[in-house]
Amino acid sequence: MKITVINGTEKHGVTYRMKEIFLEAFRDDAEITEYYLPGDGPGFCTGCTTCFRGNQNLCKDAEKVQKIEKSLLEADLLVFTSPAYVFHTTGAMKAMLDHFGYRWMPHRPAKEMFGKRAVIITQCLGAGGKSAAKDIKDSLSW
Ligand SMILES: Cc1cc2nc3c(=O)[nH]c(=O)nc-3n(C[C@H](O)[C@H](O)[C@H](O)COP(=O)(O)O)c2cc1C
């Protein structure tokens, strides 16, 4: 079983600990690939729309985007983690998700994503965990 984990923060804080607890049950059998954002992720989308027009290879961040995309497409289970930052997912996670806008339903969805299972782990001090999770869920659903 392959698991791809996209971490919305590089910090080894509460989110990290929750993710580690979740993955514990899979450690012996699964092949787990993790990305920590922003370090392992692409830079900000510049809005050039090259990807929407079918030339995603020409994106300035193509190398990083395509590496993550390959991991997402090959995985049996996806795990996304993020603390709530001002009621939303981290800017690092949003910056990465923007690069997959071209895979949204009105554009060029990847058939491998249909029926794929994902787990979203968020937490916060008071309020905003739900809307942080929704930011990620929107991208996975669409
Ligand atoms: C920039 C920033 C924005 C935050 N916004 C919220 C928020 O909207 N609601 C909330 O309850 N906590 C908020 N927090 C607190 C974090 O969600 C909380 O401390 C969380 O446990 C941090 O997770 P971590 O240890 O994995 O980094 C914010 C923290 C930061 C740094």
Is the C-beta atom of 106 inside 6 A of ligand 1?
no
Instruction: Domain 2-141: give its CATH superfamily.
Output: Flavodoxin domain (3.40.50.360)
Q: pLDDT digits over 125-135, tens only?
A: 999 999 999 99
Distances 109 to 11, 45, 105, 114, 142 between C-alpha atoms, Å:
31, 19, 5, 9, 8
Residue 99, amino acid = H
Q: pLDDT digits over 36-71, tens only?
A: 999 999 999 999 999 999 999 999 999 999 999 999
Domain extents for the chain?
2-141
Q: pLDDT digits over 69-126, tens only?
A: 999 999 999 999 999 999 999 999 999 999 999 999 999 999 999 999 999 999 999 9
Strands (E), 84-141: 117-123
3-state secondary structure (DSSP) of residue 87? coil
pTM recorded for the entire structure: 0.97
- Integer Cα distance of 114 and 112 in angstroms: 6
Whether residue 15 contacts residue 121, with contact meaning beta carbons closer than 8 Å, is answered with: yes
Say how many Å lie between the CA of residue 101 and the centre of ligand 1.
26
Is the C-beta atom of 86 inside 6 A of ligand 1?
yes
Residue whose token pair is 């008071």: 126
